[in-house]
Structure 1
């Protein structure tokens, strides 16, 4: 054995990481003591063995090295062992001058604890379903701003999660109330008297992100404060750190955030001292993180950490029964704030009820505030509404007139229903960019949309 090989073997043997190196045929050349413990087996017996044999025996399921040798590129996957463990694996090929793979280096991280946490939550949810303690009811007693079953389910879930430290991922369009629910989760928890630090990841420049999140020591860079600065993570000590728009988090910061979540410690910029920190993490996004992971824009291991308990908050247009409550709430709240007594004319109220609210609850609040501040009369009439809301109302009236025309022209119910369906499909086809968007717009499944497009293809001029 050469000196270089001896050094390499010692590095792998003493590394804190779980490492295995194979040759270009998948034969294990080097491995450290820790690597195979995550698979629940003795490492010494596998040097010289083929990863293909281990995969066939079910010890590696699947083998990441085999995937790298097949795909000829770096791979990141989740593995499941015979012992019931969940392993996050990364593997990287090394090529020779001819472009052939001569070595594959793989790393394994045990993610079983997180997987178990998800299972425990599911069991807890089943156990507590339909049951709320008297204390929870008293603590959560306040003005109810929803009638929809979806929002009621979310509110009850928030109450059940409040006194755990499980990581929650809020999903939904901008303006649906993700920030409000994050704060609700904090105020119902045992951390309610500790800091609630809200960070909008899309508003911090990438060049400043690390110093804002982790802080810095005195004199660590030009322009730094002499006494140094606490980062946002440190400010959230013993409280809740809410990272909104988590999909905007730079990849370089994603890796460092993952380390903080795993180890509960970090080092300020320019510092050497490790600082321990305890906080509850809540995140939110209006992006599809799974698609971002597939495109390499978001780390799979971080996504797995954040997605312990996902909560999807539906847009306002999908819970129309909540709109009237919200209108009344913000009229009352903002009248009190500005010491006014404005009221909505019935026709305006009707328009607001039928409007689709693309900006969700935030848009509704902003519009009510605008109407109260800009309307001189006590009664808010249609001429005070912005043009886009009026145009939406006119479109709704036109749609109603067309449906009534169908009913007058045809006496047969089946024919009327088919004409209305065809008209709605045609309208959605013009307004939406994809069949998935059409399905969401129409409230049906995507395969149903495809079938109906085929049905009406000739008469709708669909290519």
Structure 2
């Protein structure tokens, strides 16, 4: 296939003896990612802007060459596949530089080589994915399109790390493992957007020299087999192993069906602990600010325990019941216990939760006299009805929750220390939204879908509005986020909800956040790549400081996380991770 007409000669070059300073000037002037390095007409390699970070300005560019290129025959036809690491790929014939080719054109040429096979592959029931040695997706068939609900045009040309960072896979990518090790791997994979379970086998394809050229992945839908396996486990219940697997499937199903939105590492750590203690009868103390989802966690603990089949989940808000009624509500009362008492008495919430789980919310609001009685119930596993004379044995698992500092309350004498130790068997702290930013976008999407369906709308958030909400602290956490989305869906008269639609208190909070950190404005002639230090003592951390300074300047230049990621050629998730590493937030960049 002829490619001469696709070779561009306008991309600037530099001689190998030239200085790094000169290379940076050319890259800036022509606004390119990298430039070919020549020795006369002989091709030596490529030098990229990202590789010059930290380089001495007066050293030769030859010290920073990367040998990226495509070799061609005398007829200017494709001979070998490149690394495809940048937009432009050098074309070399017999060691002589001929020009550069746009990576998109090169992908088109590579796809042409599979045209004759595509009609056959597309008829396959199994999904097929082909990636190059660098991890860029070259081809997927129709079956994989259906499994992932993503189009060929979206996936082809994308890097595998982009799919991983977007959270498409629930398990480790075997294609990535094969790219890293050059070995074959097989594993069960499931996709968060479709819920399909698949069996994926990734195999390396090597050239005649033993070098990795491609990775071929075969993806088989096993969701029907998984469904039958689940049914078998539920019907038999013959071993503890099956029961444990079923509990785990329930837990994972909550995440895949949207009942539980948790994408951040912080929440993954919390959920990992929740799952491990769910099957026990230990008392759990849930700690966290108002609105972080303590009740949701309490229900998860119950639903993943054996008590889900023997009893019910009961909730009591200790701060919502008047103190004079709290004892009778919790422990019940016998006939004649007080004026107006129901004939025959009434069982309390503890009795109703027998063989189940009792969730004591806002435990910090419990009066001291009731704390003593609750302590006795926890110690003796029995209650005494108001007006009763005979203890009633109970079997109840206690899950308590509070947004208050119980240890401080102990020091102030408003909470009993012995009760605290009884409740604090397994403490689980649920982080607020501001400490798990990775959950904000999935939560926004979840509640937007819910309220659109509820009120029959099709509203969407603009990317700028999402960026602004990522800066907001959400003092009310998930509850506030849900209310905010519902309010915007109902009050916004346009289909696209933009920054100017956000409530004034949200905008004001973001403005206050932005004013906390002031970064010095750069001089007009400064560029992201023109970085340095005044303090020689910082030599050891030079690269990290360069990286941070470049990130700050890029954020200031492009104004948002998404635009910065696009400009730097990385995903917005990568930008957020780097910001977290350096202790920055988007709202702190003026």
Number of aligned pairs? Answer: 290
Distance 2:456 2:351 in 1: 40
Q: Which residue of 1 aligns with 2:281?
A: 165
Distance 1:147 1:141 in 2: 12
- State the TM-score, normalized to the length of structure 2: 0.46
Structure 2 gap segments, 5+ residues each? 1-242, 539-544, 549-579, 582-590
Displacement of 1:413 in angstroms is: 4.9
Match of 1:280 among 373, 388, 397: 397
Structure (1 or 2) with the greater helix fraction: 1
Q: Which residue of 1 aligns with 2:293?
A: 177
Distance 1:231 1:166 in 2: 22
Q: Which residue of 2 aligns with 1:139?
A: 250
Against the structure 1 CA distance between its residues 275 and 319, is the aligned structure 2 distance closer, same or farther, given a 3 Å change threshold? Answer: same
Conserved 8 A contact 2:283-2:397: yes
Match of 1:152, SS?
helix
Match of 1:141, SS?
helix
Q: Which residue of 2 aligns with 1:308?
A: 425
Match of 2:308, SS?
coil
Against the structure 1 CA distance between its residues 271 and 408, is the aligned structure 2 distance closer, same or farther, given a 3 Å change threshold? Answer: farther
Displacement of 1:156 in angstroms is: 1.4
Conserved 8 A contact 1:330-1:365: yes
Conserved 8 A contact 1:351-1:389: no
Q: Which residue of 2 aligns with 1:156?
A: 272
Q: Does 1:246 align with 2:357?
A: no
Against the structure 1 CA distance between its residues 276 and 383, is the aligned structure 2 distance closer, same or farther, given a 3 Å change threshold? Answer: same
Against the structure 1 CA distance between its residues 357 and 261, is the aligned structure 2 distance closer, same or farther, given a 3 Å change threshold? Answer: same
Match of 2:353 among 216, 236, 243: 236
Conserved 8 A contact 2:314-2:358: yes
RMSD of equivalent CA atoms: 2.9
Distance 2:412 2:516 in 1: 40
Displacement of 1:404 in angstroms is: 4.8
Which deviations, in whole Å up to 9, do the C-alpha atoms of 1:393-439 show, x marking residues without a partner? 33455567x4252677998656899xx9xxxxxxxxxxxxxxxxxxx
Conserved 8 A contact 1:234-1:277: yes
Match of 1:311, SS?
strand
Displacement of 1:337 in angstroms is: 2.2
Against the structure 1 CA distance between its residues 391 and 206, is the aligned structure 2 distance closer, same or farther, given a 3 Å change threshold? Answer: same
Which deviations, in whole Å up to 9, do the C-alpha atoms of 1:224-281 show, x marking residues without a partner? 2233222111111111000011111111011111111111111111111211111110
Match of 1:310, SS?
strand
Which deviations, in whole Å up to 9, do the C-alpha atoms of 1:109-150 show, x marking residues without a partner? xxxxxxxxxxxxxxxxxxxxxxx9644432212335222222
Distance 1:188 1:403 in 2: 48
Against the structure 1 CA distance between its residues 197 and 413, is the aligned structure 2 distance closer, same or farther, given a 3 Å change threshold? Answer: farther
Against the structure 1 CA distance between its residues 229 and 404, is the aligned structure 2 distance closer, same or farther, given a 3 Å change threshold? Answer: same
Q: Which residue of 1 aligns with 2:553?
A: none
Distance 2:323 2:488 in 1: 37
Displacement of 1:282 in angstroms is: 0.3
Q: Which residue of 1 aligns with 2:36?
A: none
**Higher normalized contact order (CA 8 Å, seq sep 6+, divided by chain length):** 1
Conserved 8 A contact 1:167-1:308: yes
Match of 1:223, SS?
coil
Against the structure 1 CA distance between its residues 378 and 168, is the aligned structure 2 distance closer, same or farther, given a 3 Å change threshold? Answer: same
Conserved 8 A contact 2:409-2:415: yes
Against the structure 1 CA distance between its residues 266 and 408, is the aligned structure 2 distance closer, same or farther, given a 3 Å change threshold? Answer: farther
Following superposition of structure 1 onto structure 2, how do residues 250-329 of structure 1 map, counting pairs within 5 Å?
250-329=367-446
